[in-house]
């Protein structure tokens, strides 16, 4: 289960055409920054997890250094106190906007069903989670699992991609969106299925050995991780683009209900996938091992089924976005 | 449908920059065209004009047909005839929208007067333009005791007697011509006098005309012929309310024009409803940026003195100016809200911020506008007056309490971000999915049972947080997860103190479960962030 849609942008229906451009741009930028930061957090988490496992395998440290040493309490208890303080501050001091009672919207849930974009979003969640949730951990394990490239080098790569190149993307799209506010959604649609590609690279074994890179195995490992990070970046951009799609067609409360339902649905599908999907115990046929030859790999039907499912997602968005766009020229 | 000749450009997006660019390219194309081409176009256009009058007439027909069909459908249980007044009025109101007060009003009157020959509309052979009934549209029958069973058809409308009832405002062709002439006179006067008092000269012919038609209605204020202004408020009230239109440049000149008739005859007025008191809670909304003091308007006027071809696209582009002004104004608004007792020092005088806007433009001929004398007196002896003036501008009211220190802290900004939104962003970042959580508490692989349990908790808590969100104030759903996160960390920290074994494992599992439960609220943090941004409060 994952928060499949980790970008959401506080939305306000922009019927005000005169200054409609500025607010959207500001929020997109901020939402992107938040998303970028979360990527870093996740990366760090996975690093921690990999380090723990590796350490266990070589017998260096105890099994769970985090929870098994008493010194950890000195770290986690202050964190807990900090979080409680924040909770208290939030409770007492949020601006008055947040003290409104929620509005009653008649027939709210039924109107959701009539918005094709929302329905397609749910379809996206289903398709993506079904095929791409089980190998999730293994996919991320690929990043840190190299035996050749040192961890600090990979850390640098992560910084380069998730901070610098990400900022460059933000800058570029910020400039472009001033003139053409549709460009980020359309770019996202044009990206296709980067998450699928990333998983293919990471879990099917293609990315494990890149012999054609000059510089030996270290360079090969770094090149492989770079490709992986690049695809991850494109996946984030696509997430932002789809978020803008929703923003340009929905209000704040619609967005929140969409995301919550998507969460619920995504989790349910993940559980189902864990029980029934073809890649539940490993990449399986969905991300086949190409070491026996390319044709052997491509011949598996699940490969194509999964790929097809991922590719119809942007096509559907394209179709419904155009119809439901609020501020059409 | 005739497509007019000319140079067209496509519109691919609604942003100003794009439209400017497209328009410019169309202009360049037109300027670069050959003489023969233009001669050909001129020749063609002699034969082919854009048929304005016919277009208006067609629209009229369309609308009246639609309304007639609607009424026929609805005539099963209610059968009083509809005044055709509605339709004609509707077309007038459409044409006379606020942004085009000057031109289209006379155009409409022209179209109406010129339409003598084309009386093929189903509205029948009207010789007068109805401007509405005192009792409101559709209620004429009740008042004058008309037959309720009359068919809903235009035949009745040809009955002149019924139409000239005392409570309807009518505008015969002659009267329309009078108004038209009045407009033209006004326009001529306006161009001669500059921005003198065009309103007065325009009002006079119209007013005398209306005075003569009053028929003893017993009203103290003569009904100004206005198809637009629905409230009969006196002038000073209008002055403070008028900026809700977005044509602030037209505001001065045309505020008093174009009152052609009261459409609905309603006697209701905002002052009557309010009854003099000013503290209904519906009125306690945050003000939108209306430039009620005219300060930004004046500053822009000054900047426009330096207008030339180069800077009309970028620096003096009004959209950008408006955006910047709005930001400045909201900054001041926030300062006013948070710093009331500190008097005038943080607010400063409005001129520095406004002139800083001007200096961005690097217009050489820009001079800072003279201090607006009424409110912002530069002597510091009148700080309280100034403070009150600022508050009135921001509609803070007399009973405004400064928020507590924490609340003020939350609304402070770092860069462009308010602090509370950083905290909400933290809440959103912390929300991870389940796989990431097990990493935190140990063990990279997840057993299937664990996955199912965590998934179940996640799904259940999603529903719980959603119910919270929809039933209580947003405050609760944004602060409770932090408490749960904290609890999770407590468990993680306490776990090593238990002996190794199942106790410890269970602590870890509980911690994971708590973290998952709190993470389910992540989307709500996102959706609710930046809520106090200052625009469109009421919409949410």
Please tell me which of the candidates A1, A81, A180 has its beta carbon nearest to residue B433.
A1
Q: In A, residues 232-251, which contact B (CB 8 Å cutoff)?
A: 251
**3-class SS string, B319-345:** HHHHHHHHHHHHHHHHHHHHCHHHCCC
What is each CA distance from A326 to A9, A16, A106, B16, B511, in whole angstroms?
16, 11, 21, 17, 44
Nearest CA in chain A to B538: A97
Interface probe for B, chosen from A63, A89, A266, A276 (most Cβ of B below 10 Å), is A89
Average pLDDT over residues B89-115: 44
Closest A-chain CA to B22: A179
pLDDT band at B453 (very low <50, low <70, confident <90, very high): confident
The answer to whether residue A276 neighbours chain B at the CB level (below 8 Å) is no
Q: How much of chain B exceeds pLDDT 70, in percent?
A: 39
CB contact under 8 A, B433 and A3: yes
pLDDT of residue A273: 84
pLDDT the model gives residue B217:
42
- Hey, are the CB atoms on B435 and A136 less than 8 Å from each other? yes
pLDDT of res. B108: 47
Interface membership of A181 toward B (CB under 8 Å): yes
- In order, the DSSP letters of A283-296 are STTTS--GGG-HHH
Highest mean predicted confidence (pLDDT) among A98-107, A181-190, B158-167: A181-190
Check if the beta carbon of residue B444 is closer than 8 Å to that of residue A141.
yes
Q: Which of A66-80, B55-69, B321-335 has the lowest mean pLDDT?
A: A66-80
Query: What pLDDT does residue B93 have?
Result: 46
Closest CB from B246, B445, B493 relative to A73 = B493
Asked if B7 is an interface residue toward chain A (Cβ–Cβ < 8 A), one would say no
pLDDT at B274 (0 to 100): 66
User: Which region among B39-53, B163-177, B291-305 has the lowest average model confidence (pLDDT)?
Assistant: B163-177
Q: How confident is the model at residue A230 (pLDDT cuts 50, 70, 90)?
A: very high
Phi, psi of A191 (to 5 degrees): -70, -25
Interchain proximity B480–A66, CB inside 8 Å = no
Q: Is A1 on the interface with B (CB under 8 A)?
A: yes
Instruction: Say yes or no: A174 contacts chain B, CB-CB below 8 A.
Output: no
Residue B151 has pLDDT above 80, yes or no: no
**Least Cα separation, residue A147 to chain B (angstroms):** 18
Q: What pLDDT, on a 0 to 100 scale, did the predictor assign at position B329? A: 79
Contact: B18, A179; criterion CB under 8 Å? yes
pLDDT tens readout for residues B297-330: 888 888 888 887 777 777 777 877 887 888 787 7
SS3 content of chain B, % helix, strand, coil (to 5): 60, 5, 40
The pairs formed by B14-20 with CB atoms below 8 angstroms and a separation of 24 or more are B14/A17, B14/A20, B14/A181, B14/A327, B14/A328, B14/A329, B15/A21, B15/A178, B15/A179, B15/A180, B15/A181, B16/A21, B16/B317, B16/B319, B16/B320, B17/A178, B17/A179, B18/A179, B18/A180, B20/B313, B20/B317
More confident residue, B206 or A92: A92
Distance CA B305, CA B358 (A): 12
Put simply, whether B6 touches A (Cβ < 8 Å) is: no
Tell me what pLDDT residue B197 has.
Answer: 43
Interchain pair B425, A257: CB under 8 A: no
A76 touches chain B (CB under 8 A): yes
Tell me whether residues A89 and B423 touch, CB distance under 8 A: yes
Q: Which pLDDT tens digit goes with each residue over A269-289?
A: 888 888 887 877 777 777 877
CA atoms within 13 A on the CB side of B459: 15
Q: Is A156 an 8 Å CB contact of chain B? A: no
User: CB of A47 within 8 Å of any CB in chain B?
Assistant: no
Cα dist from B405 to A93, A95, B408, B410, whole Å? 9, 12, 5, 9
**Among B residues 482-511, those touching chain A with beta carbons less than 8 Å apart:** 482-483, 485-490, 492-497, 500, 504, 507-508
Looking at the predicted structure, is the pLDDT value of residue B178 above 50?
yes
């Amino acid at each position: 289960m994952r928060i499949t849609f980790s970008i959401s942008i506080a939305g306000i229906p922009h019927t005000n055409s005169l200054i409609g451009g500025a607010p959207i741009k500001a929020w997109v930028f901020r939402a992107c920054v938040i998303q970028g930061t979360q990527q870093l957090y996740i990366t760090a988490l996975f690093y921690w997890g990999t380090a723990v496992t590796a350490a266990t395998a070589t017998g260096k440290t105890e099994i769970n250094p985090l929870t098994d040493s008493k010194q950890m309490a000195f770290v986690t208890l202050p964190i807990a106190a900090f979080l409680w303080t924040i909770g208290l501050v939030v409770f007492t001091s949020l601006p008055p906007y947040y003290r409104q009672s929620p509005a009653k919207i008649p027939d709210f849930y039924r109107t959701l069903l009539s918005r094709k974009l929302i329905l397609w979003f749910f379809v996206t969640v289903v398709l993506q989670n079904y095929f791409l949730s089980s190998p999730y951990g293994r996919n991320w394990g690929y990043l840190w699992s190299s035996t050749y490239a040192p961890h600090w080098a990979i850390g640098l790569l992560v910084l380069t991609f998730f901070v610098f190149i990400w900022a460059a993307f933000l800058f570029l799209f910020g400039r472009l969106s001033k003139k053409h506010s549709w460009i980020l959604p359309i770019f996202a649609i044009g990206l296709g299925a980067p998450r699928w590609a990333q998983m293919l690279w990471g879990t099917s074994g293609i990315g494990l050995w890149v012999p054609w890179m000059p510089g030996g195995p270290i360079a090969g490992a770094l090149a492989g991780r770079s490709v992986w990070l690049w695809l991850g970046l494109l996946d984030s951009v696509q997430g932002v683009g789809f978020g803008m799609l929703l923003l340009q067609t929905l209000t704040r409360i619609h967005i929140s209900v969409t995301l919550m339902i998507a969460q619920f649905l995504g989790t349910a599908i993940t559980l189902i996938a864990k029980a029934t999907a073809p890649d539940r115990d490993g990449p399986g046929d969905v991300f086949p091992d190409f070491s026996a030859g390319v044709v052997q790999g491509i011949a598996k039907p699940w490969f194509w089924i999964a790929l097809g499912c991922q590719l119809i997602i942007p096509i559907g968005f394209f179709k419904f976005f155009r119809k439901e766009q609020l501020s059409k020229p | 449908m005739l497509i007019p000749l000319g140079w067209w450009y496509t519109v691919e997006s609604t942003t100003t920059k794009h439209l400017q660019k497209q328009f410019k390219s169309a202009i360049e194309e037109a300027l670069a065209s050959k003489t023969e081409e233009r001669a050909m176009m001129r020749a063609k256009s002699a034969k082919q004009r854009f048929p304005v009058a016919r277009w208006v007439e067609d629209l009229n027909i369309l609308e009246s047909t639609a309304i007639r069909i609607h009424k026929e459908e609805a005539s099963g249980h209610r059968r009083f005839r509809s005044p055709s007044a509605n339709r004609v009025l509707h077309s007038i109101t459409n044409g006379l929208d606020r942004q085009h007060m000057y031109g289209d009003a006379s155009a409409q009157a022209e179209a109406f007067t010129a339409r003598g020959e084309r009386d093929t509309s189903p509205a029948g052979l009207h010789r007068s333009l109805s401007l509405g009934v005192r009792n409101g549209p559709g209620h004429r029958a009740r008042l004058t005791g008309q037959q309720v069973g009359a068919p809903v058809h235009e035949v009745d409308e040809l009955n002149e007697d019924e139409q000239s009832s005392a409570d309807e405002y009518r505008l015969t062709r002659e009267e329309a011509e009078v108004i038209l002439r009045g407009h033209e006179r006004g326009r001529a006067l306006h161009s001669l006098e500059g921005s003198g008092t065009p309103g007065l000269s325009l009002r006079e012919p119209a007013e005398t005309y209306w005075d003569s038609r009053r028929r003893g209605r017993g009203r103290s204020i003569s009904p100004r012929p206005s198809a637009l202004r629905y409230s009969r408020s006196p002038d000073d009230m209008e002055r403070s309310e008028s900026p809700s239109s977005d044509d602030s440049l037209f505001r001065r000149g045309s505020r008093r024009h174009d009152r052609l008739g009261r459409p609905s005859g309603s006697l209701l007025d905002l002052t009557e409803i309010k009854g003099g008191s000013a503290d209904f809670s519906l009125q306690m909304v945050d003000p939108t940026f209306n430039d009620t003091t005219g300060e930004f308007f004046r500053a822009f006027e000054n900047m426009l003195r330096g207008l030339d071809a180069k800077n009309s696209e970028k620096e003096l582009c009004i959209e950008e100016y408006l955006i910047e002004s709005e930001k400045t104004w909201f900054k001041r608004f926030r300062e006013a809200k948070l710093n009331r007792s500190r008097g005038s020092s943080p607010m400063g005088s409005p001129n520095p911020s406004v002139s800083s806007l001007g200096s961005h433009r690097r217009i050489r001929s820009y001079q800072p506008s003279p201090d607006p004398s009424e409110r912002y007196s530069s002597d510091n002896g009148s700080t309280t007056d100034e403070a009150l003036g600022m508050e009135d501008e921001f509609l803070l009211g007399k009973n405004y309490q400064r928020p507590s220190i924490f609340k003020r802290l939350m609304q402070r900004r770092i860069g462009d971000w308010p602090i509370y939104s950083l905290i909400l962003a933290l809440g959103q970042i912390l929300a991870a999915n389940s796989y990431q959580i097990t990493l935190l508490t140990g063990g990279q692989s997840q057993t299937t049972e664990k996955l199912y349990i965590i998934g179940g908790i996640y799904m259940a808590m999603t529903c719980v947080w959603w119910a919270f969100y929809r039933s209580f104030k947003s405050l609760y759903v944004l602060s409770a997860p932090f408490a749960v996160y904290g609890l999770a960390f407590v468990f993680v920290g306490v776990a090593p103190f238990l002996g190794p074994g199942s106790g410890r494992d269970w602590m870890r599992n509980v911690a994971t479960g708590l973290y998952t439960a709190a993470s389910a609220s992540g989307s709500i943090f996102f959706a609710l962030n930046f809520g106090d941004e200052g625009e469109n409060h009421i919409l949410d």
